[in-house]
Amino acid sequence: MTVVALSGGVVGAKLALGLSRVLPAGELLVVCNTGDDFEHLGLCISPDIDTVMYTLAGVANPELGWGRGDETWSFMETLDALGGETWFRLGDRDLAVHVERTRRLRAGETLSAVTADLCARLGIVPRVLPMSDDPVRTRVRTEEGWIEFQDYFVRRRCEPVVHEVAFHGAATACAQPDFLAALASPRTTAVVICPSNPFISIEPILAVPGVRAALAECAAPVVAVSPIIGGRAVKGPTAKMMAELGMPPSAGGVARRYDDLIDGYVCDFADMDQVAGIDAKVTLGQTMMTTLADREALARTVLGAARVLRR
């Protein structure tokens, strides 16, 4: 049996960790957004894959919300002293992943193969896949024109007002074959859309040709988890971006954004009033994941919602 989880970075990774702990070993497949990927300092960086890997491996940095917890910063300090670019912070241990990934990608290996080996080395049991082995790059149109995603997200701290989001390369990218195969498999029991930012974490995945159709044809229920709790985004620019893109920053707004893609929708008790009238079957729960127990509890809620929908 397989549960397929679509995830962005931090918050999605928390639910992926919860799922990995409540599901039998080997039943979780996490498909990561790679629209955030970019080349920086000559290195191929995949922020969402790394956050998911580090979270599943138990080495993520809980304070920063990115990178590794057991990190040192000598490289960045020295790069700063040398006048290098330091707006995207790379820890010394984190750097090993980027250098090794870059070397192997340049030698012609796929991002899937490199990710699988990194996960094995990190002792990660669930499978972690990029949405595609082809580059897809999220860009946002702001009042200053189109900006590369990390420029907007990290360097500009999401300050520019966003008018439009696009996924460069998505139209010609091939969905990761094992991802599509899992969606088509009768052994798949649920597809979980993690509580990641719909615009920049989930929709890049959906933008890869064939993914929306495969989700529509998937026999297993598709259950999304709201990234909005009590009308606010737990983390990051989700609420600000939703408002700028003319969508109500509410649990109901996200549910309507996913529209006929989802069969079930898990949102917080606090947002009960926001989801009246949506098509998907709503399950209320506690969606704030502060502790590890919260992550496991939300995973059980989501899997329970999927089980009900399979009947």
Residues that bind a second copy (CB under 8 A): 41-43, 71-72, 74-79, 81-84, 91-93, 95-97, 99-100, 102-103, 106, 117-118, 121-122
Q: Which of 225, 244, 217 is nearest to 305 (CA)?
A: 225
> Residue 128 CB, nearest distance to a second copy (Å)?
14
As measured in angstroms, the least distance from the Cβ of 190 to a second copy is 31
Instruction: Return the number of other C-beta atoms located less than 10 Å from residue 231's C-beta.
Output: 16
Please give the Cα distance from 186 to 266 (Å, whole number).
Answer: 23
Shortest Å, Cβ 84 to a second copy: 5
- Give 128 or 282: the residue with its C-beta nearer to a second copy: 128
The distance of closest approach from Cβ of residue 111 to a second copy in the complex, given in angstroms and rounded to an integer, is: 15
Closest distance of CB 254 from a second copy, Å: 36
Pick the closer one to a second copy by CB: 41 or 261.
Answer: 41
Closest to a second copy by CB, 117 or 294: 117
The answer to whether 189 and 9 are in contact (CB under 8 A) is no
Instruction: For a second copy, give the closer residue by CB, 78 or 290.
Output: 78
Q: Residues with Cβ < 8 Å from 19, sequence gap 6 or more?
A: 3, 5, 28, 126, 192, 299, 302, 303
Query: Both tokens of residue 159?
Result: 């300050």
Least distance from C-beta 78 to a second copy, angstroms? Answer: 4
> 112 vs 188, which CB is nearer to a second copy?
112
- Considering beta carbons, is residue 106 or 307 the nearer one to a second copy? 106
